[in-house]
Amino acid sequence: MAAILMIVTVFAPLGLVRVSAQETLQEAVTTSQTTASDVTALLGDIDGNGAVDTFDSLRLYGYTSGALLLSIAQQRRADIHPDGVVDMRDAAALYRVVSGVTTTVTTSSTYPSTTAPTTAATAVKGIDVSYAQGVISWQEVKETEVSFAILRCGYGDDEPGQQDTRWDENAAACEELGIPYGAYFFCYARNAEEAAREAAHALRLLQGKNLTLPVFLDMEYSNWQGNLTPSQYAEVATVFCETVGAAGYKVGVYSNLDWWSNRLTDPCFDRWYRWVAQYNDECEYQGTFHLWQYADNGAVDGIDHPVDMNECYIDLSLLR
């Protein structure tokens, strides 16, 4: 994908300049919902060749990342959400169309409507698990104080074999037993294109599942993502969360206290559920958070291996 983007950049028309939001807005489409056929007729066909395809997606990502300039006419076709600004929401929507994830370009992300309480008095206990916990006796788990579970569904690019080997089994058991559950996806993405592919991967894994809790993007891999800037972290999270949220899922981001305090600082993160990891007697994060992972060595009946323990500060019934 990167090699193609370089080709697009090299052969982009010279002398093009960005237009202001107002200039773009003057001829923006006013419909609130646009089908794939409408996109082919007007929106998304950035290069104007009569088809909405991968090259349009690459051009839009190149523009939003600052690597490519678009003419005024191209920007008007790229303003898929007609708000006068060509941004990552437009890029995520176009990617969903060309990848076949959806046939619409509308966004319906669900954002938090509550804040974390100042006391843990109303907190409910939960766990998060992956293949590392092995075969779980979920009936035994249900009989403990555990009120919810967040299950790893997969990781990385949209490639075969990169799903959690216990995902399907764990999700099926939670649904059968009525255990509220969500999912988390381990992130490797370092730019918008990689984040879009990871979102497509997550959506493929989520198909057919009936989650009652959010889908969380797990951002913590310092060896791979550690040299990104706050704006680049924000770009990755925005593409993933907007894309998954547009498919109807509640979305959030998970990371540790250090990352939340020093890297994931862009205001965009206030739009999603925030899950903070700090193994301590109390969570010292200074901002709003909705879940706290307070230990990684918990012992729960039905699970033979140490398990991550969590508290949730929002009413689970509001998420169903």
Is pLDDT at 275 greater than 50 in this prediction?
A: yes
Per-residue pLDDT tens for 78-100? 887 766 778 777 887 787 777 66
Whether 207 and 90 share a structural domain: no
Residues 92, 161: one domain?
A: no
Render pLDDT for 121-155 as a digit per residue (tens, 0 to 9).
578 999 999 999 999 999 999 999 999 999 999 99
Same domain, 23 and 169: no
| Distance, CA of 8 to CA of 233 (rounded, Å) | 24
Question: Whole domain around residue 212: which residue ranges?
Answer: 120-319
- Does 48 reside within a domain? yes
- Residue 134 shares a structural domain with residue 281: yes
Claim to verify: residue 42 and residue 176 sit in the same structural domain: no
Q: Are residues 148 and 91 in the same domain?
A: no
- Per-residue pLDDT at 255: 97
Among 244, 251, 309, CA closest to 96: 244
Average pLDDT estimate for 24-30: 28
Whether 280 maps to a domain, the answer reads yes
Which CATH number do you get for residue 283?
3.20.20.80
Q: Residue 185, SS3?
A: strand
3-state SS assignment for residue 129: strand
Are 215 and 248 in the same domain? yes
**More reliable by pLDDT, 42 or 265:** 265
Residues 145 and 75 in one domain: no
Is the residue at 108 inside a domain? no
Share of the chain above pLDDT 90, in %: 48
Residue 103 lies in a domain: no
Whether residues 83 and 228 fall in one domain: no
Domain boundary among 98, 133, 149: 98
Q: What is the pLDDT of residue 92?
A: 77
Residues 6+ apart with CB under 8 A from 250: 110, 182, 213, 214, 215, 273, 319
The DSSP letter of residue 84 is S
One domain for residues 77 and 148: no
- Of 98, 129, 156, the one marking the end of a domain is 98
Indicate whether 140 and 46 sit together in one domain: no
Instruction: Please report the DSSP string for 229-292 in residue order.
Output: -HHHHHHHHHHHHHHHHHTT-BEEEEEEHHHHHHTS-SGGGGGSEEEEE--SSS----S--SEE
Predicted local confidence at residue 83, as pLDDT:
67
Say whether both 89 and 130 belong to one domain.
no
Dig out the tokens for 152 from the structure.
Answer: 């790893």
142 within domain boundaries: yes
Distance, in Å, from the CA atom of 77 to the CA atom of 267, rounded to the nearest integer, reads 28
Q: What is the pLDDT of residue 263?
A: 93
Residue 112 lies in a domain: no
**pLDDT tens-digit map of 181-207:** 999 999 999 988 899 999 999 999 999
Query: Quick one: pLDDT band at residue 319, thresholds 50, 70, 90?
Result: low
Average pLDDT, the chain: 79
Q: Is residue 114 a part of any domain in this protein? A: no
* CA-based nearest residue to 105, from 34, 176, 169, 183: 34
63-86 residues labelled b (16+ CB within 10 A) or e (exposed) = bbbeebbbbeebbbbbbbbbebeb
254 forms beta bridges with 218, 275
Give the chain's domain count: 2
